[in-house]
Structure 1
């Protein structure tokens, strides 16, 4: 079991939460905690207060950089034509590859076949 915790944004498939859980991480889905329609800033604040790394497809979450003490974010830059199964395959491959310490205090951009880390 990993000690890191994630929060899944509403633009990610619900099934992605199970993929994250299956790799040993704790995850909350914004739709399950009454934040499905929340503004990005509200999700960032919630993630900050609860020490959760945001998992999203929304590139606007780059504003997280204004919060240097934030645990971080993982932004998936994949074609929006990807079905949930395709996105979840990339998510699983990413989680199987990345080290926990790479996720902390960073923005990670995940693309097909690679990811880039940007420290906060």
Structure 2
């Protein structure tokens, strides 16, 4: 899997993914003021899963119908808890992450959202 980490995702998550030998790119290494639309286009172009803590990408995808790859939105928690959520998602929801889903991970639950046109009847 290939990931694109939004500026609001900590370096410890990046380090964790790199240690697991995932392909990781970080917005903060290119342009901290990059727009969400540009980040989404980057992810689509390079087939990367966006990891973020905000819902802006969901707005672009659901309301503006922007092309997208996968998005993992982690609850904005302390770093150690976000890392734990990431580990849970990678262990149990890797197929969903690779199938175009938006995965929303909170301490209470993990939700999987798929585009309606992508769902089979």
Pairwise CA RMSD of aligned residues?
A: 1.7
Q: What secondary structure, in the 3-state scheme, does the structure 2 residue paired with 1:74 have?
A: strand
Q: Structure 1-normalised TM-score?
A: 0.81
Greater strand percent: which structure? 1
Q: Which protein, 1 or 2, shows the higher relative CO under an 8 Å CA cutoff with sep ≥ 6?
A: 1
Unmatched 5+ stretches in structure 2: 116-121
* Structure 1 segments unaligned to the other structure (5+ residues): none
Mapping of residues 10-89 of structure 1, within 5 Å: 10-32=7-29, 34-62=30-58, 63-65=60-62, 66-68=65-67, 70-78=68-76, 82-89=77-84
**Counterparts of 1:76 and 1:22, CA distance in 2:** 20
Q: TM-score, normalised by structure 2?
A: 0.81
Which residue does the alignment assign to 1:119?
Answer: 114
Q: Number of aligned pairs?
A: 111
CA contact (8 A) 1:75 1:109 kept: yes
Question: After TM superposition, what 4+ stretches of structure 1 lie above 4 angstroms from structure 2?
Answer: none
